Amino acid sequence: MIGGSGGIGSAAARRLAADGMAVVVHYSGSRERAEEVVASITEAGGLAVAVPGDVADETEMARLFDAAEERFGGIDVVVNTAGIMLLAPLADMALGAFDRMQRVNVRGTFVVSQLAARRLRPGGALVNFSTSVTRLQQPSYGAYAATKGAVEAMTLILARELRGRDITVNAVAPGPTATPLFLDGKSEQLIEQIAAAAPLQRLGTPDDIAEAVAFLAGPGRWINGQVLFANGGIA
């Protein structure tokens, strides 16, 4: 579980553990939160371990995959929720901020996807993360959406490159979801306005997104090379 200490990542880690999977909870700078996720899984009778690493560093990610294989005997599911979102109109976006998103969202997805392609066992699944903003096309999200467009391209092509391996490759594209990343800096009025835009008239929850991940990681074996928009009908 890459990015397993975040709002969506931690919910997905717990959900997969509830399905009986042993989980490696990856974290970058949130050791305490990652260990809390591990503790909640083990207290519920599951198996989990926290492992640090820079998602865009191929050596550190290789060590994470090594740890998963050594601890649990192999890798069947890779879920990559790691990502950052920096917002500004295109004309005002600092190139340094754009480069940061490219490194984490694009290079990080490439590094993890490459390792998954090499190490997933037959019957396995890779689940990357995009965003429903690629459909909504909201102002100030241009640079962020561009990184997620790259994620979608890599995901869909990799699914076809793994022909004959019995490995599925998909992406989940959440809509507005009540995580600290999404809520940070938004007024209550704006949050209510965004929630009202969905036909279900609420924000998504991390558990909503975790259900989509569990489907693609488990029973959804005939879903391959797709982007699943988990957004309550907002787009």
pLDDT in the model for residue 3: 86
Write out the two tokens for 72: 């649990």
C-beta atoms surrounding 163 within 10 Å? 8
Whole-model pTM: value is 0.96
Q: Which CATH class is domain 7-176+207-229?
A: alpha beta
pLDDT at 22: 97
**Residue among 218, 224, 97 nearest 170 (CA):** 224
Q: Return d(Cα 7, Cα 218) in angstroms, integer.
A: 21
Listed by start position, the domains of the chain span 7-176+207-229
The yes-or-no answer on residue 144 being catalytic is yes
Give pLDDT, residue 180: 82
* Residue of 144, 159, 209, 230 marked catalytic: 144
At 18 the pLDDT is 97
Nearest to 108 by CA among 53, 60, 56: 56
Residue 75 is inside which H or E element, if any? Answer: strand 75-79
pLDDT at 56: 98
pLDDT of residue 223: 98
Written as tens digits, the pLDDT of the chain (235 aa) is 888 888 999 999 999 999 999 999 999 988 999 999 999 999 999 999 999 999 999 999 999 999 999 999 999 999 999 999 999 999 999 999 999 999 999 999 999 999 999 999 999 999 999 999 999 999 999 999 999 999 999 999 999 999 999 999 999 999 999 988 788 888 999 999 999 999 999 999 999 999 999 999 999 999 999 999 999 999 7
Q: Identify the burial level of 136 via C-beta atoms within 10 angstroms of its C-beta, where 0-12 means exposed, 13-18 middle and 19 or more buried.
A: middle
First-last CA distance in the chain: 27
Residues 6+ apart with CB under 8 A from 95: none
Q: How many CB atoms lie within 10 A of CB 160?
A: 10
Helical segments of 120-166, H only: 133-136, 142-161
